Amino acid sequence: MPIVSTFCKKGGVGKTTFIGYLAHYYANQGKTVLVISADDQNSIFKIFGCENFVTANDDDFFENLLIGEKKPEEVVFEVRPGMYLMKTLNTDRLSINLTLKRSEEKKLRALIEDFTNYFDYIFIDFPPSSSRLTEILLDISEKILLVVGLDPLGIDGYKNTIQYFVDCDIEISKISHIIPIGYHPIKITPNKALKDLKILAENYSPDAIIATPIKDKAVIQNLQSEGISVFDNHTMKDKFHQKNLNEISKDLTEVYKSIVL
Amino acid sequence: MNNFPKKRTNPFEKPISAAKEEKVEVVVKEEPEIEEEVEEIVEQEEEIEEYVEPTPVVKKPAPKQPTKPAPKQARSGSRNSNVYVESDNRLKYTATMDRELRRRIKIVCATREIMFSQFIEQACIEKLNREGDR
């Protein structure tokens, strides 16, 4: 069963949003999916309106499972039917442990491999920062979706990510898709950035497919603040926002259909 | 905050392969039950045919009570105040415009280096001059 990650060294490009909705898309199709939030901000819970799960208890984090304090079913949260999330407490500390104790790394790898027996898909949501945990999880991942913001800083983020892959000896061929986010048909900057990205991708990650660019929509932020997913069949208060929501859910569905995992 | 999920389930109870096999078995078992349901529905339909509908009772509309007009409320604030209060429900006036038209106008504005609102203003002046204040 595939382990899929979204990664980018630049923050705020939409990694969490993209993988969260991707997981929900597969859950809606009857698959059982798990999203491990390797980002200790755990913002994916907020997207699905379940931020209370993050703060409710202090002992149901992924780390508690890793040290054997808890069972897997005690650290997993069902946020939508068939969609489960896991939260992390402090990835920096976890990374120090993983660096100092090699046995921990084995345990982590075995744990995630065991998860593949229970879930159709395992998605890993990464923070923009990198650590030993990031290296291991990227190494475990079968496919990596690189999310790139369509602006000059976003393109720099792509270059930085490729550099990081080379430095840490992570296979660049694992990058199966590049997801450009923040497209606009008229604006000059996103169009120029997309052109630059295509040239860079040809040189540095030739195996990766550049997915259909995703448009920037403010309505998604409104939904996230209310904890409603794009695939929740939610009805907006006015026609204007409803039209935007329909457009974005249609665009995302098309992109997700094109990404074969 | 939404109400998801309503029921919390344990995904670690059974591996996926075992769960899928179970699902297949359940489908096979359900088949005879469906046939029974169909028979029941047929029986119910027969009963409905024998049922005699009661004569409809026509209700007379209630007499209208005279309503008093609501007293006029005193206007608050001065008449000449130009303070514009934006309501929460206000939509952008271009939001309802045809998308293609809006796109064309934006391109024209960009080439003429004017604001969208300036273009609209010019267009309105032109229309008024052409058609008069009818």
| Contact residues, chain B, for A117 at CB < 8 Å | 15-17
| Per-run averaged pLDDT (10 residues), chain B, 134 residues | 61 79 58 51 51 57 62 55 52 70 90 89 92 78
- In chain B, which among 62-91 make CB contacts under 8 A with chain A? 89, 91
Task: Note the pLDDT of residue A245.
Answer: 87
In this complex, the residue of B1, B12, B103 whose CB is nearest that of residue A118 is B12
What pLDDT is stored for residue B132 in this prediction?
Answer: 82
Residue B4's pLDDT is 61
Q: What is the mean pLDDT of residues A237-253?
A: 88
Over range A166-191, report the average pLDDT.
92
**Mean pLDDT (whole number) for A42-62:** 90
CATH of domain A3-217: 3.40.50.300
Task: Return the higher-pLDDT residue of A260 and A76.
Answer: A76
Contact call for residues A47 and A54 (beta carbons, < 8 A): no
- pLDDT for the residue numbered B3: 55
The pLDDT, as a whole number, for residue B79 is: 53
Q: Which of B11, B95, B106 sits opposite A118 (nearest CB)?
A: B11
Contact A39, A91 (CB under 8 A): yes
Question: Rounded to a whole number, what is the largest CA-CA distance in chain B?
Answer: 79
Q: Is the distance from CB of A7 to CB of A145 less than 8 angstroms?
A: yes
Mean per-residue pLDDT, A150-173: 93
By the CB < 8 Å criterion, does A114 face chain B?
A: no
Q: What's the mean pLDDT in A170-176?
A: 93
CB A134 within 8 A of CB A99: no
Cβ contact B16–A120 (<8 Å):
yes
Mean pLDDT, residues A233-243 taken together:
85
Q: Would an 8 Å CB–CB cutoff place B16 in contact with chain A? A: yes
**Of A76, A118, A226, which is closest to B16 when you measure between CB atoms?**
A118
pLDDT of residue A174: 93
Chain A, nearest residue to B9 by Cα:
A78
**pLDDT confidence of residue B92:** 55
Decide: helix, strand or coil at residue A230. coil
Collapsed DSSP state (helix, strand, coil) of residue A194: helix
Give the residue on A whose Cα is nearest the Cα of B19: A118
The whole-angstrom separation of Cα A79 and Cα A62 is: 16
Per-residue pLDDT, averaged over A101-112, amounts to 89
Q: If residue A79 lies in a helix (H) or strand (E), which one and from where to where?
A: strand A77-80
Q: ipTM beyond 0.90?
A: no
Average pLDDT of A245-261? 89
- Mean pLDDT value across residues A167-180: 93
Q: Do B12 and A73 touch (CB under 8 A)?
A: yes
Helix (H) / strand (E) containing A245: helix A239-258
pLDDT attached to residue A219: 76
Query: Domain ranges in chain A?
Result: 3-217
A165, A197 in Cβ contact below 8 A? no
Q: What is the pLDDT of residue A143?
A: 94
Pairwise CB contact (< 8 Å): A49 & B4: yes
> What's the rounded mean pLDDT across residues A123-133?
93
Residue A64 confidence (pLDDT)? 92
Q: Which residue of chain A is at minimal alpha-carbon distance from B102? A: A186
> Is the per-residue pLDDT at A177 higher than 70?
yes
Query: What six digits make up the tokens of B125?
Result: 């002046």
Q: Nearest to residue A5, comparing CAs of A133, A166, A99, A152?
A: A133
Please answer yes or no on whether B106 and A186 come within 8 Å at the CB atom.
Answer: yes
Name residue A179's beta-bridge partners.
A147
pLDDT for res B65: 65
Which residues touch A245 (CB under 8 Å, ≥6 apart)? A219, A223, A230, A234, A236
By Cβ distance, the residue of B8, B15, B89 closest to A118 is B15
The first and second tokens of residue A148, run together, are 């790139």
Mean pLDDT, residues A217-235 taken together = 84
